[in-house]
């Protein structure tokens, strides 16, 4: 890794999920004007870049990841004029703005798909992936192969009119684009990328960036979830045969013409594949998100079969995300929350009480602020927001992923009783990893609905808004919010060490404490994090430690539960 201080390497990025950030007009939905009203707050936090999740026009079957027009704004969020104002509002404060680039699929309401599905010989027929049905021995119509959707069931959708199936790895209304078709690729580049670069945005978070190239044989996927008719298609749809060719083309034709950053959501891939995406000499993307940490404890292909994890696995995951760029010209990311993940104190800390939740949020802030790569913070993380309460019924959940998984589970196991132990175990998993934990409205103050809206919120606000909200933290030097600001400053003040330094774990076998060093050009930091509810004797593995930051007022010879410290080694 090169210590070159490129803006997007040094940056701290703040992700905004527009539906839940701030409602400016009382209709219950967050909107662009709401975001604009909070830009000073975002700046004050110490962030340099905003990543705005999809604000494009969309039927919202997958919260805007189903785009019907790349060049328009979802009316509930505002207008193009508001968007121009947001770009200007960011830039005038020295904040850069990146958008979400969702180009593996469109909405079925996109004009391209409407044309594509209109007839077998429409010129855009080949812009999506259409296949003839299969028939079983009894003559029943079946999808072309056994691939499952990320949102349960088959990945193929039957089209009555033209009597073929189309591929949709996500919702039925999210048809996958056919990247094999060059005309289609060029249309994507023009409408989804160039249009926005010309408006002045500074880059993209690239949605499902590893999925564009499907193995054209469309073979059945291997069985990884026994008992299910449909199986994860990774082998044939992730990091596929032409994926790097497509990224190189997108970079050379479009992105390279701007001073832009790109961060691809790639999730699971080998170190070798990861480097192909982000090695500087490959000219594909600036960096990618890997999922080692956020997927901990889940089962491959079956997220809601949650089996848990231990601290060693957590350390391995951190190491995998940090280490794959060692000795290369590649770059990496640091994140623990986003719109698809649970809240970090609930998921990786202890959110049983507000006190332990706040303390573990601060511990996580120290972890995040000291790891190598570009740092991403998700809205609400900076105040220590929690997962939704376990007492909430599944009816409060809005996300197509959890709802479909729930319905599929209930049907598969013939569950009729809410107290069925199998269902309770499933709901425990929902409680731990559902995407909606991140999607409830931001808690701004202690007034009704947490000050998010004066109307009826589109999604229920977490019940703990009186205890966890921005207003109560902003002037409190001991709050999670103040601590995040401090931790982010510390990261910047010692950026060689924390943003660029080499990472090494010192106590791999310790099941309760995570100790590591960061090192660069002869300077060294020593980080010790107690990831447990126990008080543990502090036994430093290095000498001459000078305390830089801690989430307690006074450090003693004991590490209290969820205590974290950062030292410089002198």
Helix axes 480-493, 354-369, angle to 10 degrees: 10
- What stretch of H or E contains 408? helix 400-412
Confirm if 19 and 460 have CB atoms less than 8 A apart.
Answer: no
Measured CA to CA, the distance from residue 209 to residue 461 in angstroms comes to 31
With CB under 5 to 8 Å by kind, the binding choice for 212 among Ca ion, ligand GLC, none is none
CB of 298 to ligand GLC, least distance (A): 14
Residue nearer to ligand GLC on the CB measure, 339 or 491: 339
CB of 32 to Ca ion, least distance (A): 9
Q: Based on the residue annotation, tell me whether 456 is a catalytic residue of this protein.
A: no
With CB under 5 to 8 Å by kind, the binding choice for 71 among ligand GLC, Ca ion, none is none
With CB under 5 to 8 Å by kind, the binding choice for 82 among ligand GLC, Ca ion, none is none
Q: Among candidates 150, 178, 159, which has minimal Cα distance to 65?
A: 150
- What stretch of H or E contains 59? none
Residue nearer to Ca ion on the CB measure, 442 or 488: 442
With CB under 5 to 8 Å by kind, the binding choice for 31 among ligand GLC, Ca ion, none is Ca ion
Confirm if 480 and 362 have CB atoms less than 8 A apart.
Answer: yes
Catalytic one among 62, 207, 340, 399?
207
Q: Based on the residue annotation, tell me whether 48 is a catalytic residue of this protein.
A: no
Question: Which tokens go with 513?
Answer: 């404490």
Residue nearer to ligand GLC on the CB measure, 143 or 267: 267
With CB under 5 to 8 Å by kind, the binding choice for 6 among Ca ion, ligand GLC, none is none
Residue nearer to ligand GLC on the CB measure, 14 or 65: 65
Categorise residue 373: left if φ over 0, alpha if ψ from -120 to 50, beta otherwise: left
Residue nearer to ligand GLC on the CB measure, 151 or 516: 151
CB of 212 to ligand GLC, least distance (A): 12
Q: State the DSSP string of 437-471.
A: GGTSPP--SSSGGGGS-SS--SSPPPTTTTTS-HH
Pairing of the two strands 545-550 and 564-569: antiparallel
Q: In the complex, which residue's CB is closest to ligand GLC?
A: 65
With CB under 5 to 8 Å by kind, the binding choice for 340 among Ca ion, ligand GLC, none is ligand GLC
> Over 217-285, what HEC string results?
CCCCCCCCCCCCCCECCHHHHCCCCCHHHHHHHHHHHCHHHCCCEEEEEEECCCHHHHHHHHEHHHCCC
CB of 214 to ligand GLC, least distance (A): 15
Q: What angle is formed at CA 482 by the lines to CA 476 and CA 487, rounded to 5 degrees? A: 155
Q: In the complex, which residue's CB is closest to Ca ion?
A: 31
Give the count of alpha carbons within 13 A of 552, CB side only: 16
CB of 463 to Ca ion, least distance (A): 22
With CB under 5 to 8 Å by kind, the binding choice for 62 among Ca ion, ligand GLC, none is ligand GLC
Residue nearer to ligand GLC on the CB measure, 48 or 340: 340
CB of 237 to ligand GLC, least distance (A): 13
Applying CB under 5 A, the residues found at the interface with Ca ion are 23, 25, 27, 29, 31
Measured CA to CA, the distance from residue 64 to residue 54 in angstroms comes to 5
CB of 164 to ligand GLC, least distance (A): 23
Applying CB under 6 A, the residues found at the interface with ligand GLC are 62, 65, 102, 170, 207-208, 265, 339-340
Catalytic one among 265, 292, 337, 431?
265
- What stretch of H or E contains 57? strand 56-57
Q: Among candidates 411, 410, 412, 434, which has minimal Cα distance to 424?
A: 410
**What is the separation of C-alpha 453 from the centre of its chain, rounded to a whole number of angstroms?**
25
Q: What angle is formed at CA 255 by the lines to CA 252 and CA 258, rounded to 5 degrees? A: 120
Residue nearer to Ca ion on the CB measure, 23 or 549: 23
Residues with catalytic function: 207, 265
């Amino acid at each position: 890794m090169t210590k070159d201080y490129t803006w997007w390497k040094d940056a701290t990025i703040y992700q905004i999920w527009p539906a839940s950030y701030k409602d400016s007009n009382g209709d219950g939905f967050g909107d662009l004007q709401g975001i604009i009203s909070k830009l000073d707050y975002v700046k004050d936090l110490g962030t340099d870049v905003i990543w705005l999740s999809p604000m494009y026009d969309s039927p919202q079957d997958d919260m805007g990841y189903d785009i019907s027009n790349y060049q328009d704004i979802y009316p509930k969020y505002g207008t193009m004029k508001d968007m121009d104002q947001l770009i200007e509002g960011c830039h005038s404060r020295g904040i850069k703005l990146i958008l979400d680039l969702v180009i593996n699929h469109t909405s079925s309401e996109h004009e391209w798909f409407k044309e594509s599905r209109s007839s077998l010989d429409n010129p855009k027929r080949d812009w999506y992936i259409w296949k003839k049905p299969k028939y079983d021995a009894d003559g029943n119509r079946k999808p072309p192969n056994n691939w499952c959707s990320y949102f349960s069931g088959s990945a193929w959708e039957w089209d009555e009119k033209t009597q073929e199936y189309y591929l949709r790895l996500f919702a039925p209304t999210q048809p996958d684009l056919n990247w094999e078709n060059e005309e289609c690729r060029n249309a994507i580049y023009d409408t989804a990328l160039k249009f926005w670069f010309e408006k002045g945005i500074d880059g993209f978070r690239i949605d499902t960036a590893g999925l564009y190239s499907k193995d054209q044989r469309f073979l059945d996927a291997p069985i990884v979830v026994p008992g299910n008719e449909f199986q994860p298609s990774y082998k044939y749809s992730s990091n596929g045969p032409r994926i790097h060719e497509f990224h190189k083309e997108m970079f050379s034709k479009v992105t390279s013409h701007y001073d832009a950053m790109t961060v691809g959501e790639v999730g699971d891939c080998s170190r070798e594949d990861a480097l192909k995406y982000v090695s500087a000499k490959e000219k594909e993307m600036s960096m990618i998100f890997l999922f080692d940490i956020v997927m901990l404890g889940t089962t491959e292909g079956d997220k809601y079969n949650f089996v848990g994890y231990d601290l060693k696995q957590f350390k391995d995951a951190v190491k995998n995300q940090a280490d794959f760029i060692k000795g290369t010209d590649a770059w990496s990311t640091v994140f623990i929350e986003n719109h698809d993940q649970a809240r970090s104190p609930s998921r990786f800390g202890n959110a049983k009480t507000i006190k332990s939740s706040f303390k573990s949020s601060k511990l996580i802030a120290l972890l995040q602020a000291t790891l190598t790569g570009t740092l991403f913070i998700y809205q609400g993380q900076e105040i220590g927001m929690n997962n939704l309460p376990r007492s909430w019924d599944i009816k409060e959940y809005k996300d197509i992923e959890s709802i479909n998984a729930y319905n599929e589970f209930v049907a598969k196991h013939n569950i009729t009783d809410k107290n069925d132990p199998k269902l309770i175990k499933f709901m425990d998993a929902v409680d731990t990893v559902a995407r909606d934990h991140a999607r409830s409205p931001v808690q701004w103050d202690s007034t009704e609905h947490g000050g998010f809206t004066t109307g009826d919120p589109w999604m229920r606000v977490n019940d703990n808004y009186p205890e966890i909200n921005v207003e109560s933290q902003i002037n409190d030097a001991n709050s999670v919010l103040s601590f995040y600001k401090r931790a982010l400053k510390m990261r910047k003040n010692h950026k060689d060490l924390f943003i660029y330094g080499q990472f090494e774990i010192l106590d791999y076998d310790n099941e309760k404490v995570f100790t590591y060093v960061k090192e660069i050009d002869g300077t060294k930091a020593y980080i010790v994090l107690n990831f447990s509810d126990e008080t543990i004797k502090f036994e430093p593995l290095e000498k001459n430690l000078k305390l830089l930051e801690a989430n307690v007022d006074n450090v003693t010879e004991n590490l209290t539960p969820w205590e974290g410290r950062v030292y410089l080694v002198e």
